[in-house]
Amino acid sequence: MNEQAIANVYASMRNEINQFYSKITELEMEVSEHSLVINAIKPLDPSRRCYRMIGGVLVERTIREVLPAVQRNKEGLEEVIARLNEASEKKKKELAEFEAKYKIRIRKGDGEMKDESKKEGNAQGVLVGPAGSN
C-alpha cells in the first residue's frame, strides 16, 4: 500500500468511528426524551387520555396503553446504544492496530500552528519588504 492509500483507509476508519459517536449521541438524546415522557405520565391516572405520534400520525390512547410502549421503545434504544458502543470499541481497536502496523502518528496542534505561521510569514514578508526597501 502506498502512503495515499494508507491515509485514505485511515481517514475512512476515523470517519466510521465518528459516525458511531454521532449515532450514539442521537440515540442517547431519544432515550432522554423517552425518560422525560415516562416520568411525566407515570404519576397520572392510567385511564387518562394520552396522544402519541406513531409513524407521523397522532393517535389517541390512554396512559395505560402508551406507557408500556414508550418503556419498550426506551429499552430497545438502550440495547441499540449498547451494540453501537461495542462496535465502536471494536473499530477503535482496529484503528489502533492499523496505526501500529503503519506507524501512524497524528499531528494535532502542530499542523494548525504551521498553517498559521505560514500565513503570518507571508503577511510579514509583504509588510516588511516594502518598508525595508525605502
List the pLDDT tens digit at each of the 134 positions of the chain: 899 999 999 999 999 999 999 999 999 999 999 999 999 999 999 999 999 999 999 999 999 999 999 999 999 999 999 999 999 999 999 999 999 999 888 887 655 444 444 444 444 433 444 444 44
118, three cell numbers? 505560514
User: Distance (Å, rounded) from C-alpha 105 to C-alpha 94?
Assistant: 15
pLDDT of residue 107: 82
pLDDT of residue 110: 52
Cβ atoms of residues 8 and 1 within 8 Å: no
Q: State pTM to two decimals.
A: 0.76
72, three cell numbers? 419498550
User: Distance (Å, rounded) from C-alpha 78 to C-alpha 33?
Assistant: 12
User: Distance (Å, rounded) from C-alpha 127 to C-alpha 21?
Assistant: 45
Length of the chain: 134
Cα angle vertex 67, ends 22, 58, to 5°? 75
Rg of the chain taking only CA atoms, in angstroms: 27
Q: Could you give all domains of the chain from N- to C-terminal order, each with its CATH number? A: 3-128 (1.10.287.370)
pLDDT of residue 105: 87
pLDDT of residue 1: 82
